[in-house]
């Protein structure tokens, strides 16, 4: 008999699977704050504030002490402590929870995962405030990105995993003719089995959006998950783990299928845990060198990484110069450039940018783009909603270092400066830094620098711009590649570059769609085909690589 939660969510799962196959627009969770209630924002704030000056409760084994939350990028002292548990105790408990979860089958696991997501969705505004005050995102970005967008990606992973597992029949009757003798009849049984305990390493700037695909892909395919948030962004994933454990327990399963492992920046545990023999899966989002360590050292596990790269823009021509500038200004400013999809290097040839109004030189583009950013951010109240806050003080240090380099060479197109926040006077808010960089200064434009930092590079020809972009993306990796061109020949060249570099390509974005946006059920986030990621969110390989199929057989009567 089907589990009640599968019956409850079966239609949703089927609709999600249909959306994945069609790749059109569909969203399971509303992006409209009013859908969550007239007072949802305030209720979420109160629920978030209730964690202050308190101990976050989780009934987990092996508690050794407590870890305190880092302050908010907005200057708010969170004063929350989390249970610090022995990794070995969490692994042992997870292994003990596995057999019943495996026997439950694909339908039941998918139904329980969908119910977890439903309960997460009910707490969307609470989680949005938690995302805001750990990542520095503005509240509305934290609501959309950390809420429904992340939940859609989680459901996408569940549905994709469910679809892959359902392709494996539970049983089969194998009959082989034996001539005049009776056929040879074998009953076969096929069981989806997990790779082992999954270790999920969260990131600081997008804790739920980056984590939910991995969490739900692993859990749906019968792998228990140990969630280790970034020390600066614990609360959103702690709330997630608490909801998951409660749902599992109420559904008749061991809550140790999902647990929280916390550390602080002074005593990191991720690398020690990652190489333990029982860890069969690792999901890691963060800096390139961080992800590479797990790829190189956690040999016993299947490692999925989402790493930093150097996203490029090539500008050759446009039919809407002002629209292009507005789009780029928002793209470079949104969340202070702290997303994996933010462009870092803008390549323009000395031949200029061809438009219906005439040709614009690279120098003019630099001035106009700087003015477009300033116009976008001229009102502080609007500016802070676009920029949010800088998540890490290290990013401010990085901005200052690049400002010094730019000042020495006279190459600052737009200087970065602190922006006062009308509500949070201690918030770390800085406007974007835009530099003009010589094509010979590869160490400046071929390196990822998280934050509101971008470079305009003048090349000799458009063909050289594409060649440099391809080299950057193949060597350093990239999640996005944006091209402005009305020339069919150049568009074909861009397509060829994108295919060789294994990166998603966007043409001529001038309206309300930005390259930093990625839609669940339609867009593949990352490709796994360049150094920025070893996996694509969410393709079949992302879920099917998390399980094996074991068969047993016996003679049929």
CATH of the domain at 463: 3.40.309.10
* Residue 393 neighbours by CB distance under 10 Å: 10
419 found inside a domain: yes
In terms of domains, do 297 and 258 share one? yes
Continuous H helices in 362-392: 362-376, 380-387
- The pLDDT of residue 464 is 97
In terms of domains, do 262 and 149 share one? yes
In terms of domains, do 418 and 328 share one? yes
**Is residue 385 classed as helix, strand or coil in its secondary structure?**
helix
What torsion do the CA atoms of 229, 230, 235, 237 make, to the nearest 10 degrees?
A: -30
Work out the mean pLDDT of the chain and round it to a whole number.
96
528 found inside a domain: no
- The pLDDT of residue 36 is 95
- The pLDDT of residue 404 is 87
Q: pLDDT by residue (tens digit) across 168-220?
A: 999 999 999 999 998 999 999 999 999 999 999 999 999 999 999 999 999 99
CATH code (residue 58): 3.40.605.10
14 found inside a domain: no
| pLDDT grade for 556, boundaries at 50, 70 and 90 | confident
Query: DSSP for 304-354?
Result: EEEE---EEEEESB-S-HHHHHHHHHHHHHGGGG-STT-EEEEEEETT-EE
In terms of domains, do 542 and 441 share one? no
In terms of domains, do 290 and 320 share one? no
Q: Residues 155-164: what's their mean pLDDT?
A: 98
Inform me whether the pLDDT recorded for 409 exceeds 80: no
In terms of domains, do 290 and 438 share one? no
In terms of domains, do 354 and 472 share one? yes
From CA 47, how far away is CA 123, in angstroms rounded?
Answer: 9
Full domain range(s) for residue 88: 20-174+186-308+535-555
In terms of domains, do 82 and 204 share one? yes
- Report the share of the chain in percent with pLDDT over 90: 93
- The pLDDT of residue 443 is 87
From CA 246, how far away is CA 249, in angstroms rounded?
Answer: 5
Q: CA of 141: how far to CAs of 132, 133, 147, 335, 512, in Å?
A: 8, 12, 9, 8, 15
- The pLDDT of residue 91 is 98
Q: Residues 53-57: what's their mean pLDDT?
A: 94
522 found inside a domain: no
In terms of domains, do 435 and 380 share one? yes
From CA 522, how far away is CA 25, in angstroms rounded?
Answer: 7
Inform me whether the pLDDT recorded for 421 exceeds 90: yes
Q: Residues 527-555: what's their mean pLDDT?
A: 95
10 found inside a domain: no
Tally of domains within the chain: 2
DSSP letter assigned to residue 231: T
Please say whether the beta carbons of 79 and 234 come within 8 A: no
13 found inside a domain: no
Q: pLDDT by residue (tens digit) across 326-350?
A: 999 999 999 999 999 999 999 999 9
- The pLDDT of residue 418 is 95
Beta partners for residue 315, in sequence order = 348, 484
Report which secondary-structure segment, H or E, holds 548.
strand 547-555
CA atoms within 13 A on the CB side of 44: 29
Predicted TM-score (pTM) above 0.75: yes
- The pLDDT of residue 266 is 80
Q: Which residues contact 28 (CB under 8 A, 6 or more apart)?
A: 12, 15, 16, 151, 152, 155
| pLDDT grade for 547, boundaries at 50, 70 and 90 | very high
In terms of domains, do 352 and 203 share one? no
513 found inside a domain: no
In terms of domains, do 153 and 55 share one? yes
Q: pLDDT by residue (tens digit) across 443-483?
A: 889 988 899 999 999 999 999 999 999 999 999 999 999 99
- Report the share of the chain in percent with pLDDT over 70: 100
In terms of domains, do 62 and 146 share one? yes
| pLDDT grade for 235, boundaries at 50, 70 and 90 | very high
From CA 325, how far away is CA 312, in angstroms rounded?
Answer: 15
From CA 354, how far away is CA 360, in angstroms rounded?
Answer: 7
370 found inside a domain: yes
Please say whether the beta carbons of 503 and 478 come within 8 A: yes
Inform me whether the pLDDT recorded for 408 exceeds 90: no
Tokens coding 64: 């050794």
Q: Quote the strand ranges of 159-310, DSSP E.
A: 171-178, 181-194, 197-201, 225-228, 258-260, 279-286, 302-307
Q: pLDDT by residue (tens digit) across 263-276?
A: 987 889 999 999 99
């Amino acid at each position: 008999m089907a589990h009640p939660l599968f019956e409850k969510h079966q239609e949703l799962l089927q609709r999600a699977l249909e959306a994945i196959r069609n790749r059109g627009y569909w969203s399971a969770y509303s992006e409209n704050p009013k859908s969550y209630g007239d007072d949802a924002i305030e209720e979420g704030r109160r629920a978030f504030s209730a964690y202050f000056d308190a101990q976050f409760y989780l009934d987990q084994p092996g508690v050794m002490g407590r870890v305190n939350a880092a302050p908010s990028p907005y200057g708010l002292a969170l004063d929350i402590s989390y249970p610090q548990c022995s990794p070995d105790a969490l692994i042992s408990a997870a292994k003990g929870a596995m057999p019943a979860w495996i026997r439950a089958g694909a339908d039941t696991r998918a139904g329980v995962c969908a119910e977890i997501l439903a309960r997460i969705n009910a707490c969307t505004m609470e989680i949005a405030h938690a995302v805001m005050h750990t990542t520095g995102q503005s509240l509305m970005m934290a609501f959309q990105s950390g809420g429904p967008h992340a939940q859609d990606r989680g459901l996408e992973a569940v549905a994709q995993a469910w679809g892959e597992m359902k392709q494996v029949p539970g049983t089969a009757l194998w009959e082989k003719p034996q001539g005049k003798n009776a056929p040879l009849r074998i009953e076969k049984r096929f069981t989806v089995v997990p790779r082992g305990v999954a270790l999920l390493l969260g990131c600081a700037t997008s804790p739920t959006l980056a984590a939910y695909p991995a969490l739900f892909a692993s859990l749906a395919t019968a792998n228990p998950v140990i969630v280790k948030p970034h020390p600066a962004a614990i609360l959103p994933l702690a709330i997630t783990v608490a909801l998951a454990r409660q749902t599992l327990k109420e559904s008749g399963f061991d809550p140790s299928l999902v647990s929280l492992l916390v550390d602080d920046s002074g005593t990191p545990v991720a690398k020690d845990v990652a190489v333990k023999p029982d860890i069969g899966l690792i999901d890691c989002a963060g800096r390139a060198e961080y992800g590479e360590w797990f790829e190189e050292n956690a040999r016993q596990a299947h490692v999925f990484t989402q790493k930093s790269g150097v996203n490029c823009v090539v500008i050759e021509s446009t039919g809407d110069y002002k629209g292009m500038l507005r789009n780029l200004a928002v793209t470079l400013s949104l969340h202070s450039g702290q997303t994996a999809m933010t462009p870092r290097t803008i390549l323009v040839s000395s031949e200029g940018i061809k438009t219906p109004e005439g040709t614009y030189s690279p120098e003019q583009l630099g001035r106009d783009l700087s003015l477009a950013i300033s116009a976008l951010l001229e009102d502080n109240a609007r500016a802070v909603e676009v920029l949010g806050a800088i998540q890490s003080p290290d990013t401010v240090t990085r901005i200052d270092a690049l400002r010094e380099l730019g000042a020495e060479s006279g190459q600052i197109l737009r200087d970065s400066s602190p922006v006062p926040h009308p509500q949070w006077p201690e918030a770390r808010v800085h406007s974007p830094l835009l530099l003009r960089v010589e094509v010979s200064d590869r160490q400046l434009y071929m390196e990822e620098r998280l934050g509101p930092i971008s470079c305009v590079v003048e090349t000799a020809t458009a063909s050289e711009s594409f060649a440099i972009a391809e080299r950057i993306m193949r060597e350093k990796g990239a999640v996005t590649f944006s091209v402005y061109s009305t020339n069919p020949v150049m568009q074909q060249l861009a397509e060829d570059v994108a295919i060789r570099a294994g990166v998603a390509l966007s043409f001529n974005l001038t309206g309300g769609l930005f390259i930093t946006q990625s839609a669940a059920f339609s867009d593949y986030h990352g490709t796994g085909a360049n150094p920025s990621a070893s996996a694509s969110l969410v393709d079949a390989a992302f879920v099917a690589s998390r399980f094996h199929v074991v068969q047993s057989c016996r003679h049929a009567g």
